[in-house]
Chains A and B, each alone.
Chain A
Amino acid sequence: MASRPDVAFLRQVPIFKDVDEQVLIALWPSLRERRLRKGEVIFREGDPGDELFVIFSGSVVVSKPVTGRVEQVLNRLGQGEVFGEMSVFGDEQKRSATIQADTDAVLLGLRRDSLYRLIESSPKDAAKFFLEMVRFTFKRLRDTSDLVAEVTRWGLEATGLDVEHR
């Protein structure tokens, strides 16, 4: 990224909030800017990928195909939030959901090799980065299990299924 490092912004991003300022300045050129128009798909479920994204501005919708042209909205993410980390650190280098821009948006992409360089150059900061990443992953897990319960309740209400008295 050519512009001046925006450390203040990176401080707002949970996974970078405890990382040393010098490391963030060093990381900034590795971040690739990507501009999106409203409705534009960033990637689809199953696409290969090795890049995580930080939302610099705007918002995106995370969805998963259900049937035909219909997808279930799993989440909406806004400025400072991160997505795409699963295919960077996960066991499968495939996207687990589809992401599209909900508004015009600017993303900052960070590739796996750039991240690995950060880890090698500053293990102490890498530990802080991963600690936040674990917290953030747990939150996603909690949100997902809440969503499962909510969708189940929706299904029961929508079908009028009386499970208690079956």
Chain B
Amino acid sequence: MSEREAGADRPKRTRIELLVRAETGDDFQTREVPSASAYLESRPQRIPVGDYELARLPTSIQGTTAYVLKNRRTEDYLMLTEQETFLWEQMDGRASLQEIATAYVLRYGAFDFEAIPVLISKLRRAELLIMRPASRLREVLARNQRNPAARAAEAALHALERLTVKSRRSHDVFARMYRYGGFLLFSPAAVLVLAVLVVLGARSAVELWSDSGEVTKGFAGHALVAILLVKLCFWLTVVSHQLVHALACVHYKRRVREFGFTMLHGFIPTFYVDVTDIFMASRRARIVNALSGPLVHLFLAALYLWTASFPGPGLLKAFLATSAILQLQSFFISLYPFCFLEMDGYHILVDLIGFPTLNHDSVRFMRESLGPHLMRRARWTRQEIACVAYFVLSLLSVAGFVLLNLWVIVHAIRS
């Protein structure tokens, strides 16, 4: 039963032999049941209606529609294509896979025979969204396991990653924070306060710019303290960024799945909040959620700049001005979508163009498909144009960012 088919890589489908007795007497029949036919005759049953939620995403740049399927009990999310959603809707426990496949052919005119097994695997796994991005560093280390240095680095990263502290019951805390004042952040008054503060901050920035020499002198003699203070304060504002994301999630009546502290990629200490549930809300909600975090940095930058205009030259003024610059930098970096990092701006961009896997697909396209595509001189689809544009813009942006920083360092050393 287990021998391989001639010339094929896959082993033969297995069969089991069953004996079925007659209702009376000793008579019996034996039947061979191939696993494939058992599979086709199985009748997948989706979980009860109240236990899942299906949300339609806007039509994408490719002209296709995607859906997000949420398991309310486990809080797992699955992104489905329109065809997969059709298959999901057939899985009512009454239709066999064979009947589902037939219904698919009648609806779409063709059938990919891998579609059902792939979908079933996805549905069974049902943990497709991981908030902490997979580390490319870990991938490289895993590929070099024979190297003792790589093994040591892997062990160190593993130890650091265990420093993760998280709570899956944080939603109630955020809901209370929202109830006791957090809701004000999403009111017109908050927008007005932010606008006024930005104007005040901009005016102060102009004044401080003209006295930049005086401002930087404030660090003289306190360089180490100043750096530590600025870094510490900035790191704490990351909590505010995450906090506001969580409040935005509550504002749109979605669930905050997790809040915690972790070593991102094993070496970047950071706070994080899992707001995956916002995918089940409207596009407006998703965009507001993504924008809310960076706006914290804009608010703090404007506040620092404005308050920096009051004290006289000294450590406090220098601290406020430097912190404002860091906050502004964070604001722009968070919102800038073209940098291969999937930050808030990236999420807004992919939501607007309806291409949720843009980063991943663009890197894969450039690595695997661009060459053959150019050789074939094939026509460019909108999706391919988006991939190339994203990749090129991101590459230029990263190069520009590195060059700018080099220029700043060189300029600082010379002066």
A residues near B, CB below 8 A? 39-41, 61, 63, 66, 69-73, 100, 146, 150-151, 153-162, 165-166
Asked if A72 contacts B17 (CB within 8 A), the reply is yes
Give the chain B neighbours of A39 by CB distance below 8 A: 25-28
Does A160 lie within 8 Å of B117, measured CB to CB? yes
In the complex, B233 has a CB within 8 A of chain A? no
Q: Identify which of A40, A66, A158 gathers the most chain B CB atoms within 10 Å of its CB.
A: A158
In the complex where A160-B120, A165-B121, A166-B124 touch, is A153 in contact with B35 (Cβ < 8 A)? yes
Nearest A residue (CB) for B16: A154
- A-B pairs, top 8 by smallest CB distance, nearest first, are A157-B35, A158-B38, A162-B121, A73-B17, A154-B14, A69-B21, A71-B19, A158-B35
Contact: B18 with A66, CB < 8 Å?
Answer: yes
User: Residue on A with the closest CB to B40?
Assistant: A158
27 interchain pairs (CB within 8 A)?
A61-B19, A63-B19, A66-B18, A70-B19, A71-B21, A72-B18, A73-B16, A73-B18, A100-B26, A100-B28, A150-B16, A154-B16, A155-B35, A157-B13, A157-B14, A158-B38, A159-B39, A160-B39, A160-B116, A160-B121, A162-B117, A162-B120, A162-B121, A162-B124, A162-B125, A166-B124, A166-B125
Chain B residues numbered 78-122 whose CB sits less than 8 Å from any CB in chain A: 116-117, 120-121
Give the Cβ gap from A43 to chain B, nearest Cβ, in Å: 12
**What does DSSP make chain B's interface, helix, strand, loop or mixed?**
mixed
B412 at interface by CB-CB < 8 Å: no
Query: A157 is contacted by which of B20, B36, B116, B125 (Cβ under 8 Å)?
Result: B36
B135 at interface, CB cutoff 8 A: no
Contact of A159 with B19 at beta-carbon distance under 8 Å, contacts A39-B28, A150-B1, A153-B35 already known? no
Q: Are A70 and B20 in contact (CB under 8 A)?
A: yes
Interface of A is mostly: mixed
* Total CB contacts across the A-B interface at under 8 A: 79
A66 contact set on B, CB distance < 8 A? 18
Verify if B257 is at the interface (C-beta below 8 Å from A): no
Q: Which of B1-29 contact A (CB under 8 A)?
A: 1-2, 13-23, 25-28
Distance in Å: Cβ of B39 to nearest Cβ of chain A: 5
**Contact A154–B18 (Cβ < 8 Å):** no
What is the distance, in angstroms, from B93's C-beta to the closest C-beta of chain A? 15
CB-CB under 8 A from A100, the residues of chain B are: 19, 26, 28
Chain A CB within 8 A of B42 CB:
yes
Q: Is B30 an interface residue (CB 8 A)?
A: yes
A154 cross-chain contacts in B, Cβ below 8 A: 14-16, 35, 38
Interfacial residues of chain B within 298-312, with CB under 8 A of chain A in the complex: none
In the complex, which residues of chain B have a beta carbon less than 8 angstroms from the beta carbon of A153?
2, 14, 35
Residues of A within 8 A of B42 (CB): 158-160
User: Once bound together, how far apart are the Cα atoms of A71 and B22, in whole Å?
Assistant: 12
Bound-state CA distance A61–B20 (Å) is 12
Question: Given A39-B25, A70-B20, A160-B120, list of 16 further CB < 8 A pairs?
Answer: A39-B26, A39-B28, A69-B21, A72-B16, A73-B18, A73-B19, A154-B15, A155-B35, A157-B35, A157-B39, A158-B38, A160-B117, A162-B117, A162-B120, A165-B121, A166-B124
Q: How far is the CB of B33 from chain A (nearest CB, A)?
A: 8
